[in-house]
Amino acid sequence: MVKKSKLPQKLPKHLTLLILTWVTFLSVILTNHPIIAKNSFNNSPIQTNLINNLPKTASDAASDAENILPKPHPLPETLQQWQDSSGDYFSEIAPISSVGYLIWSKFPVTVYIQTPTLEELETFEGKSLQTWVTFVSQAVAEWSVYFPLKIIDDPETADIAIWRRRPGLRLSETGEILPARSAEANYQLYHISQQKSDNSTDNLPDNLPESLAHKFTILLSPTQTGSYIQSAAKHELGHALGIWGHSPLETDVMYLAQVRNSPQISPRDINTLKRIYQQPTYLGWPKLF
């Protein structure tokens, strides 16, 4: 648990000014390989707003300043129990500006896998479509050993949605078309209303403050076949679980390039994931906007 530092009862003038003028800007979707802003799959962009109801006293200001600091969440049970000394590549993972680390706080994290329709199954591609689903499902099952995941049938409510779709083209800063990618993970930020449960005995208001949340979309190219499908799915799922970076070692699932022989999820992968989930984040906490 991270200890919170105590703020002074009277804030310096420059800090008070910082609190009064603090603005959060989160109206972007970032994409991995490399991280760039995107507009696709953006249905509910977060709007930029000033803090309302500014504090009238130094004590209120100190309380609100503490509330807007990122905080860690409790670890899921599987990561709590995980112990290994093989090292990690946490130094390769950077928090997202104004968000912190990409951490899930409600478990199990739900995953949707695109499934072929009955009409598609009756075509000459039907068998390959079903094989694709099998390989992706196996990738989810491998991560489920270390992290609580649940496959569901609704892409709208899923935390992570995996689609059999070619990633879009990228342009360099000079306007040149960059090499095509076989897989891509991107995320969307949005606000969600917190509702008190019916059986809650806490003395809380019925409508709790909104919290910051995220959803992930994974695109896997239809041209991927065989073990490459499973390899790409495992790698992109690692990003979706919070490993927003790459390992320098090809023996890790999160190695920066795809290899022919897909490695198993390594102890270093899980060590890195555990360290990420011990870090502070704005995700899952009520926000002041």
Structural domain includes residue 58:
no
CATH number at residue 186: 3.40.390.10
Q: How far, in Å, are 32, 61, 103, 123, 207 from residue 239 at the CA level?
A: 8, 36, 11, 33, 32
**pLDDT beyond 80 at 67:** no
Structural domain includes residue 84:
yes
Query: Is the bond leading into 95 cis (omega within 30 degrees of zero)?
Result: no
Structural domain includes residue 162:
yes
Mean pLDDT computed over 143-172: 94
pLDDT tens figures, 194-225: 665 555 444 545 566 789 999 999 999 998 88
DSSP state of 159: S
What is the C-alpha separation between 227 and 68, in angstroms, rounded? 44
Among the listed ranges 12-16, 87-91, 223-227, which one has the minimum average pLDDT value?
Answer: 12-16
Structural domain includes residue 25:
no
The answer to whether residues 258 and 238 touch, using CB atoms and an 8 Å cutoff, is no
Domain coverage including residue 255: 69-168+182-193+208-286
Mean pLDDT computed over 60-73: 68
What is the C-alpha separation between 45 and 243, in angstroms, rounded? 23
What is the C-alpha separation between 285 and 168, in angstroms, rounded? 32
**pLDDT score for 44:** 32
Question: Which residues make Cβ contacts (< 8 Å) with residue 171, sequence separation at least 6?
Answer: 177, 178
The answer to whether residues 167 and 180 touch, using CB atoms and an 8 Å cutoff, is yes
Structural domain includes residue 46:
no
Structural domain includes residue 261:
yes
Structural domain includes residue 137:
yes
**pLDDT score for 229:** 94
**pLDDT beyond 80 at 271:** yes
For the chain, what is the mean pLDDT?
78
**pLDDT beyond 60 at 41:** no
Half-sphere exposure of 76 (CA within 13 A, CB side): 21
Structural domain includes residue 48:
no
Number of domains in the chain: 1
Query: Per-residue confidence at 57, pLDDT binned at 50, 70, 90?
Result: low
pLDDT tens figures, 97-131: 999 999 999 999 999 999 998 888 888 888 899 99
> What's the pTM value of the predicted model, to 2 decimals?
0.74
Half-sphere exposure of 90 (CA within 13 A, CB side): 15
Q: What percent of the chain has pLDDT over 70?
A: 70
Query: Per-residue confidence at 96, pLDDT binned at 50, 70, 90?
Result: very high
